[in-house]
Structure 1
Amino acid sequence: MVKFSMAQKGSKKTKSVTPQVDVHYTRYKKRKSLNNQPDMISDLPKDVLYRIIERLPLRDAARMSILSHKWQKIWASTPHLAFDTHFFTRVLKKKVPEAHEFLEIASKILFQHDGPIPKLSLWVPELKSCPDVTHWIAFLSRTGLREFDLCNKYRTPLKLSPHLFSCKDLEKLMLYRCIFSLPLNFKGFPKLTSLKLYGINIVYNTLKHLIGSCPLLQNLVLKDFSGMENKHIIVDAPNLRNLVIDGVFGSLDVKVPEDLVSASFVLQKLTINRREEESSYDLINALANSSRLEWLCLGGHICKVLFESCSLPNTCQKLKNLELQSLHLDDLNDFSSAVSCLQSFPNIETLNISVNTSKSLDEHVLVYNPDCTLHHLRCAKIGICSGSSTELKLIEFLLDCSPVLEKLYISLTMPLKQSRHSRMTSQLNRFRRASRKVEVVCPERKVYPKVPVSVSFPSSSSAQHITIDSSSSDDTYYL
């Protein structure tokens, strides 16, 4: 609305028309024009809107439902629900919540969902009592579940409903700290390609039956099992491409498939007798002769067996990434075996080594063959624990025998004193480098602040006050 005002009568000045704008009317027109503009995001295809919802935290995704009727339908039928740690931390807002609060919140969202739920992630927080999620699993078994992740942070294993094993469309399954047994009518997971089990309480026959009932299994992870200390574990899955086994077992027998691309064996303990020793040797030789293996991780007992063999054939042509965990370099044989092991994989491009224990040995006995070259090694990481002469000699070997090395990362698994750290840095600068462009990344020495600690006893009639000055201690540690 525009108002016009005329100049006063009799005025010598020329008449003029001065427009005066109604501010409220202008704001109204702008608001109306914005409301009439099309909602470009809401007009996107439904599958794109689902992807937007999936990338939001669950609480924020639920709030999107108030935008419009269309967004309410999108939220109520989203195919992926993630009850993760971020969600429950923001919603419960308690360190140790009650179980009924946890169940009430998740049930309200789950049972009001409209449509199939092909993917669900469930994180069970630390609660005051054990929750019962059997009714959830029974509900999910009727919704076309294809991917299911269950991470239980409660102090005891979570008992699973047998309804889970009736989900014939399952493709990916991850369980953390659970207990279950297979129902008598279990016929397997015909579509399962990924199975990850962490901290599971299960009998061996059930595990064997479960693995054998997944004909398309490609990814298998078995970690931190209980009750398998005296069991002979057999893993036979012909279509495996990725395999991770980490735990304490009586013995291990793995049928290495032809298409295996990555494998990790970190075994803290095995029963030592002739049969188990032979099966470990056979496993290592099978891995070394694998034609498609690209990534290999060995740790614990399996490394000891590897070092004792010292006769691996150099036939693992495609192996590019090697990890050796929890090494013990306490004598000359350990050092020589570690060097021989590295020389058995001449085509590796990345190397990761972690040392658990080591002793300083005389440098004149720590020798290696400089002619055995790692021609393709470009990046190496080594975690040392004490900066001993044995550990430093291993670093010298990597620098001296790797002509294309670009990065060598050194990490400290334990704090070092200032004198030892300075001596280690000095020796690193003197090592010969076969590669002109190699960069050695070593952690700087960081001094922890020396803060006095005060201890008071207010309950006594004559209160005492004791100050402990840490600056007087000789055991100052550095990183």
Structure 2
Amino acid sequence: MASDAKTRRLDCGDTVDRISNLPANLMDLILKCLPLHDAARMSILSKTWRDAWGMLSCLEFDDDFFYKLQSKRIGMKYIEILLSELSRTISGILLTHSGPILKFHISIPLGLPLHRQADMNFWIKNISRNGVRKLKIYNKAISACKIPSYLFSCLELTHLRLRNCILNPPLRFGGFCNLISVRLVNVIITTVMSFGTQLDELDLEHCTGIEHLGCQFKYNNNLTVLSILKCGEIEWKWFEFTPKVENLCLVLNGEAKKIMDLDKLVDEMPNLHTLHFNGLLLKSLEPGAAVVNRATTMKKLKNLYLYDLALCDLPQIQYVLCLIRISPNLQYLYVELNSKEESENGINLAASMELKVLQYLQSPNLIDMMFNQLETVEIRGMVGSAELEFIKLLLASSPSLKWMKLLNPNIDDLEEAFRISRELMRFPRASTAAQIIWT
């Protein structure tokens, strides 16, 4: 028996190390399928696995990563100890990784303030030396995370995603050389900066200090996608230098202090393909003579999205129809209606405003209106008299229409819903293929 056991031990010792002789692509696939901290541990198996781990170019410290680490440390009484453990784990993973890090993603959980400056400094410094190209920092903690200055030395960076952070660029920072896409959510920009002339996509949402980005909008910028969503006051002069923009989203969170000339906006962005506006933005537009007379048009516009509209507000409905009329190739229209509220002066004033809208939509001046390329219309929100008249106009003026979709009309009264649906079916349609869908 003893000799048999010895033989078995000798046999095991002579066995070929199969796990270290796997094809490189298979090892890479195994590492990608493992949780990140387990993938890092594979580096201790052999030099082959250590080399394979070093070549893993994507490091994602996502929600699953933190959940699994936290679940193993449920017994920890103090949050400080847990934070120290998690920070040490992340730092250890970065230290054992010797190869390039092309993609780095960290999602800081709520209740775990991992954005302590010392830790964040080390992490960003480490990836800045490893040729990072795609960087995503999503901070779900309550307090904002200050991004270390090492970020601005990431010369090969192409994609940047930040949430709930503070950007404080160093003096004389001239921008990134290769950055093409930026998305910032709840980010504070503290001083003048630019993301570089190669930037193709800029997406700002609920950000503070966007006035510091003025130097981004120069004659040589390459922006094709620009989205500014509820970031305070917009500098209209920026759009004098955005001729390449194809997708534009402008959503205000308050009344604009300055009026934007729609003539200029149309002239300076001739390549617009998709446009997103909200009701407050429409109120800040001033249609010029060229737009009113349709001497200026948005010939390339295919998709129009309009949010938080009050179709019982005459100026808004006039601007909506103005935008549609100067877009001869428009194919898709999305309208999101705001909830109807009583006016400060009472129901009578609201009824008077709605009556003016109905009279306008039924006026002879709109009889010759045609939207020849419009194929799909989606309207979300409460449907009333003004909205029905608007739908009637679209149905009668769109010979190519395929779908008219009414989404979430919020009508609880079944009799009222039946009455409206019956009225919709009676509306004349320029397109025999048009279908009305109520969901």
Tell me the TM-score normalised to structure 2 length: 0.77
Describe the SS at the equivalent of 1:196. strand
Matched, 1:330 2:309: no
Contact 2:205 2:230 in 1 (8 A): yes
Alignment of 1:75 onto 2:53: yes
2:93 to 109, 112, 125: 109
CA distance in 1, matches of 2:107, 2:437: 38
Equivalent residue number for residue 296 of structure 1: 275
2:266 aligned with 1:281: no
What's the C-alpha RMSD, in Å, of the aligned pairs?
Answer: 3.5
| Residues 315-350 of structure 1, C-alpha deviations (whole Å, 9 max, x = no match) | 321111111112122333433332232222121111
Give 1:124 shift: 0.8
Q: Is the 8 A contact 1:65 1:72 kept in 2?
A: yes
Counterpart CA distance in 2 for 1:268 and 1:103 is 38
Query: In structure 2, how many angstroms separate the alpha carbons of the residues matched to 1:354 and 1:54?
Result: 42
Task: Look up the match of 1:209.
Answer: 193
Q: Which residue of 1 aligns with 2:5?
A: none
| Distance (Å, rounded) in 1 between the aligned partners of 2:159 and 2:401 | 38
Distance in 2, Cα, partners of 1:178 & 1:433: 51
2:133 matched to 1:146?
yes
**2:362 matched residue in structure 1:** 367
Q: How does 1:243-258 map to 2 (within 5 A)?
A: 243-252=226-235, 253-254=237-238, 255-258=240-243
Q: CA deviation at 1:157?
A: 0.6
Instruction: Please give the per-residue CA displacement for 1:80-116, whole angstroms capped at 9, x wherever unaligned.
Output: 1122223333443499974334323323322221211
Structure 1 segment 90-239 matched on structure 2, within 5 A: 90-93=68-71, 98-129=82-113, 131-132=115-116, 133-184=120-171, 186-203=173-190, 206=191, 208-211=192-195, 214-226=196-208, 236-237=217-218, 238-239=221-222
Instruction: Identify which of 238, 256, 263 aligns with 2:248.
Output: 263
Quickly say closer, same or farther: Cα 1:308–1:316, change in 2 above 3 A. closer
CA contact (8 A) 2:161 2:183 kept: yes
Amino acid at match of 1:305: S
The answer to whether 1:430 aligns with 2:426 is yes
Q: For 1:323 and 1:148, how far apart are their aligned partners in 2?
A: 30
**Deviation string, structure 1 residues 181-207 (Cα, Å, up to 9, x no partner):** 11236343112112222211123xx2x
Q: What residue identity is the alignment partner of 1:301?
A: L
Deviation for aligned residue 1:149? 1.0
Amino acid at match of 2:135: F
C-alpha separation in 1, matches of 2:94 and 2:370: 59
Match of 1:389 among 379, 385, 396: 385
Q: Deviations over 1:286-337 (max 9, x none)?
A: 3356332211111243212347656264432111111111212233343333
SS in 2 for 1:432: coil
3-state DSSP class of the match of 1:329?
Answer: coil
Q: Tell me: CA distance 1:257–1:233, structure 2 relative to 1, closer, same or farther (3 Å).
A: closer
- What whole-Å deviation, never above 9, does each CA across 1:212-266 have from its counterpart, x for those lacking one? xx121111112212356x9896751421111111224334122343322211111
> 2:338 aligns to what SS in structure 1?
strand
SS in 2 for 1:268: coil
User: Size of the alignment, in residue pairs?
Assistant: 392
SS in 2 for 1:240: coil
| Structure 2 match to 1:43 | 23
Deviates more, 1:338-347 or 1:308-317: 308-317
CA contact (8 A) 1:351 1:379 kept: yes
Q: How does 1:19-34 map to 2 (within 5 A)?
A: none
Q: Is the 2:69–2:86 contact (alpha carbons within 8 Å) kept by the matching residues of 1?
A: no
- After superposition, the Cα gap between the structure-2 partners of 1:186 and 1:440, relative to the gap in structure 1 and judged at 3 Å, is same
Shift in alpha-carbon separation, 1:291–1:332, aligned structure 2, 3 A = closer
Q: Structure 1 residues 332, 196: closer, same or farther in 2, change over 3 A? A: closer
The alignment-based identity, stated in percent, is 28
One-letter amino acid matched to 2:270:
S
Hey, what's the Cα distance between the residues in 1 that align with 2:309 and 2:229?
15
Higher Cα Rg, which structure:
1
Distance 2:158 2:227 in 1: 18
Contact 2:193 2:212 survives alignment (8 Å): no
Aligned amino acid, residue 110 of structure 1: L
Q: Distance in 2 between matches of 1:423 and 1:53?
A: 61
Structure 2 unaligned residues grouped into runs of 5+? 1-14, 341-349
- Determine the C-alpha separation between the residues in 1 that align with 2:362 and 2:372: 20
